[in-house]
Amino acid sequence: MYQTVNDPPPEISHRAQPEHKLKLMTSATPYFCDGCKELGYGVRYTRDCGGGHSIHLHTHCALAGDTLVHPLYGYGKMEFRLLLEPPSAVQGRACDGCGEPTLDYVYHCFEQDLDIHPGCATLPQRIVHDGRALELRWKASRPCVQCGDNKGRRSMFWAYSSYFDGEVVDLHVACLKENARISWEATYRNRMHERYGKISLVVASVVCSLVFGTQWP
Ligand SMILES: [Zn+2]
Ligand SMILES: [Zn+2]
Ligand SMILES: [Zn+2]
């Protein structure tokens, strides 16, 4: 769902601990990014710290610039700085893009007290897919095409607007993120089922013959 970072380098230094190197890798296993603490899938930067512990970073978190220029905020008229920790100890801070919690890596505007996830900051202003254009807006102006809501919390945050069969349709960015998560999880579950499904059948047939003295049906 996010704009891909073009040609990410195969190895980088960790922003917070430059002596540590992170390697670019791809895996189907979901992870929590140690930068923004949001879920991630696919391509990532990783460091094996030993003892079964690894650091993972989204490419957009690992390669995030120190400042953000965003079209919805006047192309740089408001100053956003990348912080590696929340700007204050206040609990319950939320991204002004998607409305979901912000933890650690965040673009912050001190003047207006705004926060944006590094991932939300990379959402393109315009997406063209299958000949249809989706435009990023401050918020939906009609019920969201996915959740049907136009008064709830998600309606206070960014949405994509598009024409579909001659009608304007809006989709909350939070619903878009949820869609992406559900489709990744479904893909991951299918892969795991393909990989381990046969093994679990073998185990089941062995257990069946040992415990019940019978063949697996
Ligand atoms: Zn991240
Ligand atoms: Zn966000
Ligand atoms: Zn929605």
CB 111 within 8 A of CB 134: no
In a domain, 160, yes or no: yes
Same domain, yes or no: 103 and 139: no
CB 118 within 8 A of CB 64: yes
Same domain, yes or no: 29 and 55: yes
Complete DSSP assignment for 94-140:
B-TTT--B--SSEEEETTTTEEE-HHHHTS-SEEEETTEEEEEESS-
Query: What are the tens digits of pLDDT across the range 95-112?
Result: 999 999 998 999 999 999
Query: What are the tens digits of pLDDT across the range 14-72?
Result: 888 888 899 999 988 889 999 999 999 889 999 998 888 999 999 999 999 999 999 99
Q: Could you list the residue range(s) of the whole structural domain that residue 85 is in?
A: 67-120
In a domain, 217, yes or no: no
Rg, the chain, Cα only: 21
Q: How far is CA 143 from CA 152, 176, 208, 215, in A?
A: 10, 14, 52, 55
Q: Could you give the CA distance from residue 19 to residue 116 in angstroms, rounded to a whole number?
A: 27
Same domain, yes or no: 130 and 185: yes
Q: Which residues pair with 11 in a beta bridge?
A: 23
Give 93 Cα–ligand 3 centroid separation in angstroms.
Answer: 20
Query: What are the tens digits of pLDDT across the range 116-150?
Result: 999 999 999 998 888 889 999 999 999 999 999 98
Residues whose Cβ atom is located within 5 A of ion ligand 3: 144, 146-147, 154, 172, 175
In a domain, 201, yes or no: no
Same domain, yes or no: 130 and 72: no
Q: How many domains does the chain have?
A: 3
Give 205 Cα–ligand 1 centroid separation in angstroms.
Answer: 43
56 phi/psi in degrees, rounded to 5 = -125, 140
